[in-house]
Amino acid sequence: MALATVTSRVDELDKATFDDFCSSVGLTSSAAINMYVKVVVRDRKLPFEVKQVDPFFSAANQAHLLKSIQQLNEGKGTAYELIGDDE
């Protein structure tokens, strides 16, 4: 079977830490990456969950909320009480 090369850029510290981990468990970085590829190909999915972060906590939304709070604090709006489940 012919071999192909996969090139990826990673943070220098992450690479060093990954290399150290692989060495500590008796693997080369190349062998560990090949294991990852084989699992993805075999299972047809990533071996971990990939999910989107709640958009409420996005930088854009947080900036909007902070601006709105500042406007309320400057008297440029109306604050309303939230209606809870107990009311």
**Which contacts qualify for 51-55: CB closer than 8 Å, 24 or more apart?**
none
Contact 27, 33 (CB under 8 A): no
**Residue of 28, 29, 46, 48 lying closest to 37 (CA atoms):** 46
The better pLDDT of the pair 84, 38 is held by: 38
Q: Categorize the per-residue pLDDT at 84 as very low, low, confident or very high, splitting at 50, 70 and 90.
A: confident
8-state DSSP, 62: H
> For residues 32 and 83, what is the distance between their CA atoms, to the nearest angstrom?
53
pLDDT digits (tens, 9 = 90+) for 15-51: 999 999 999 999 999 999 999 999 999 999 999 998 8
Instruction: Tell me which DSSP letter residue 26 carries.
Output: T
Domain coordinates in residue numbering, the chain: 12-43
